[in-house]
Amino acid sequence: MRDDKLLNYLHLHFIVFIWGFTAVLGALISIDSIPLVWWRMSIAVVLIFIYMKWKKIPFQLFGKGALSRKRILAFLLAGVVIALHWVTFFGAIKESNVSVTLAMLSMGSFFTALLEPIFTSKKFVWYELIFGVIIIGALYYIFQIETEYVTGMILGLISALLSAIFSIMNVKWAKENPPSLISFYELLSGVALLSLFFLFLPVEFVMPSQLSSMDWLLLGILASVCTAYAFIASVKVMKFLSAYTVMLTINLEPVYGIFLAYLILGDAEEMTPEFYIGAVVIVLVIITNGILKTRLAKK
């Protein structure tokens, strides 16, 4: 039993490591954020469709056990949110770099803590207000120092907010439906939304022939390993670990991502000491928030 728990713990770290690597892939892929996300989601939809057919997981559109229209619409709406989250995420990377984007994205769990009392029955916790003031101070400090990356920071914060909204929407559904089913409809919805962007907005679609062999390789890794596999595996692993362990491990994503970015991208990711001070303050506050929340919940 202990070995199983250890294996699941190591598996979770591997998944979080993969999520950190996602940002590096976004920086290496040469196309803009909207076509990048369209290709990511499209390939992932095909892969999850094949997986569901292989595992004989029903799509639950018709017959006994069919999803209600309300639930399908909810999945589709969540897909719109996750698509916009990824567009702003990769847009932030293109406008700044991986380190800046992940520092801003680490705000996602804190946004979740602030939004949950508004949209759910959860009560607001007093110490989260204090943590919020500290985080705002750290963000202001970073904004004052890294002025050339302001656009990327704003996009990163929007991405973190959308990530929080998405997690709140998904938390109940994950207990009631297979993760592959949820992700299939959500990703399909995202593809549909971004397809409309190409039709009605001045956004240029990237044809398959315009993608280099390296782009195809990186997109394949992004869609298969970092999207289809990581989503399904993370839900499975979370069934065997405590919320406390999961929370602490997931908060290591920006740490893994910034380390990988510096290792792979080199000087392009080198930031001022002041940036790292602000980023460390944000991550430490978010981890402390999770520790306090978990301990109080146990009591």
Q: How far apart, in whole angstroms, are the C-alpha atoms of residue 82 and residue 94?
A: 18
Could you list the residue range(s) of the whole structural domain that residue 8 is in? 2-298
Number of independent structural domains in the chain: 1
Q: How far apart, in whole angstroms, are the C-alpha atoms of residue 172 and residue 176?
A: 7
Q: What is the pLDDT of residues 118-173, one digit of tens each?
A: 777 667 777 777 777 787 788 878 877 777 888 998 999 999 899 888 877 776 67
Helix (H) or strand (E) holding 158: helix 150-176
Token code pair at residue 187: 């990703």
Of the candidates 218, 249, 104, the one whose C-alpha atom is nearest the C-alpha of residue 163 is 104
pLDDT of residue 77: 92
SS3 280: helix
Residue 114: Cβ within 10 Å count: 17
pTM (two decimals): 0.85
Q: Is there a contact between 118 and 169 (Cβ–Cβ < 8 Å)?
A: no
Please determine, for residue 210, whether its predicted confidence score (pLDDT) is greater than 60: yes
Q: Is there a contact between 238 and 230 (Cβ–Cβ < 8 Å)?
A: no
Please determine, for residue 269, whether its predicted confidence score (pLDDT) is greater than 80: no
- Split at pLDDT 50, 70, 90, the class of 299 is low
Comparing 272 with 89, the larger pLDDT belongs to 89
The burial class, CB within 10 Å (0-12 / 13-18 / 19+), for 92 is buried
Helix (H) or strand (E) holding 39: helix 33-55
- Split at pLDDT 50, 70, 90, the class of 1 is very low
Please determine, for residue 214, whether its predicted confidence score (pLDDT) is greater than 90: yes
Q: Number of C-alpha atoms within 13 angstroms, CB side, residue 104?
A: 32
Dmax (CA) of the chain: 60
Q: How far apart, in whole angstroms, are the C-alpha atoms of residue 64 and residue 44?
A: 27
Comparing 251 with 288, the larger pLDDT belongs to 288
Comparing 296 with 162, the larger pLDDT belongs to 162
pLDDT of residue 248: 64
Q: Number of C-alpha atoms within 13 angstroms, CB side, residue 127?
A: 9
Q: How far apart, in whole angstroms, are the C-alpha atoms of residue 70 and residue 237?
A: 28
Q: What is the pLDDT of residues 49-82, one digit of tens each?
A: 999 999 998 888 776 777 888 888 988 999 999 9
